[in-house]
Amino acid sequence: MFPAIQPFNSGFLRVSDLHTIYYEESGNPDGKPVVILHGGPGGGSSPAMRRLHDPAHYRIILFDQRGCGRSTPYAELRENTTWDLVSDIELLREHLDITRWQVFGGSWGSTLSLAYAQTHPHRVSELILRGIFMLRHEEVHWFYQKGADALFPDYFERYRDFIPAEEQHDLVAAYYKRLTGDDRSVQQEAARRWAQWEGSTLSLLPNPGRVAQFGEEHVALAFARIECHYFYHKGFFEADDQLLRDMVRIRHIPASIIQGRYDVVTPVKSAWDLHKAWPEASFKIVDDAGHTMSEPGLASALIDATEKYKEVRAQA
């Protein structure tokens, strides 16, 4: 990864009467613009996200989506849908006076990247997508109900058994009930269980430090509440396969799809389905990686993609 850098500009943008989002810019102020969309939803951005693009060539833009990171109000679910976030990305582009930009997203960030590009294709110069997730029923069911438990039964048990047996047939709904309830202690424990289940499975090898971080109160509450809110409402899509259905809108945009072979959170089948619907995009499976972008094979493949596009003029 490129060396750690600090932002040259940061600020807050009011996107509605209720929500204000934090954003930052780093790298070259006159460089090719790229907006990086974080995962979750509810995960927030991190300094590591600045390190996948050459800072001498790129104007690197990060922001915290509604309700998470440094955006306010914290963990807020009102006015927080996929289409609100798509609107926020456009408002940020206009605020920063950018005509077109590269869109880079992993996990939920890949979902949001596709939704944004399909809504505003003329504003996207390229797409770089990792850990493909299209928020279809089968994808949510695999990780939060039945599928991933076969690989991580010990971690899954701690997540599942917070919910009474009579409600375990629909764990997303059961968690949603608790994460939106009035009992703060129940809400916080539900958030910790939800977040640490995901934090335990992100990489090919265990990372206890990351699991502990996911369990921290401020991290877990926004992450779990917002993520469960989106999953419970089926991503606010009008159809389960909406992103695949609408691929015709963006098949002309240069793109790279990068996927860890042993990604348990967003299994390779989703990336394969996207690849079949979008054969024009380059497609790479990294055979020694799971989900997180910090794994060496994934980071290397992502940097290869950002290097490939860095000399392509964003205004072309």
**Which residues are identified as catalytic?**
107, 263, 291
The strand order across the sheet containing 20-27 reads 9-14, 20-27, 58-63, 32-37, 101-106, 124-130, 255-260, 282-286
Cα distance between residue 193 and residue 91, in whole Å:
35
Of 260, 271, 256, 261, which is closest to residue 306 (Cα–Cα)?
Answer: 256
- For residue 7, count other CB atoms closer than 10 A to its CB: 16
Q: What is the β-pairing status of strands 20-27 and 255-260?
A: unpaired
In DSSP terms, which residues pair with 60 in a beta bridge? 26, 34
Of 105, 101, 87, 110, which is closest to residue 49 (Cα–Cα)?
Answer: 105
What tokens were used for 210?
A: 């990351």
What tokens were used for 69?
A: 């990171």
DSSP per residue, 7-53 = -SEEEEEE-SSS-EEEEEEEE-TTSEEEEEE-STTTT---GGGGGSS
Which residue type occupies 301? A
In DSSP terms, which residues pair with 256 in a beta bridge? 128, 282
The reply to whether omega before 41 is within 30° of 0 (cis) is yes
Contact in structure between 272 and 94 (CB atoms under 8 Å): no
Residues in the chain, how many? 316
- DSSP-derived letter for residue 284 is E
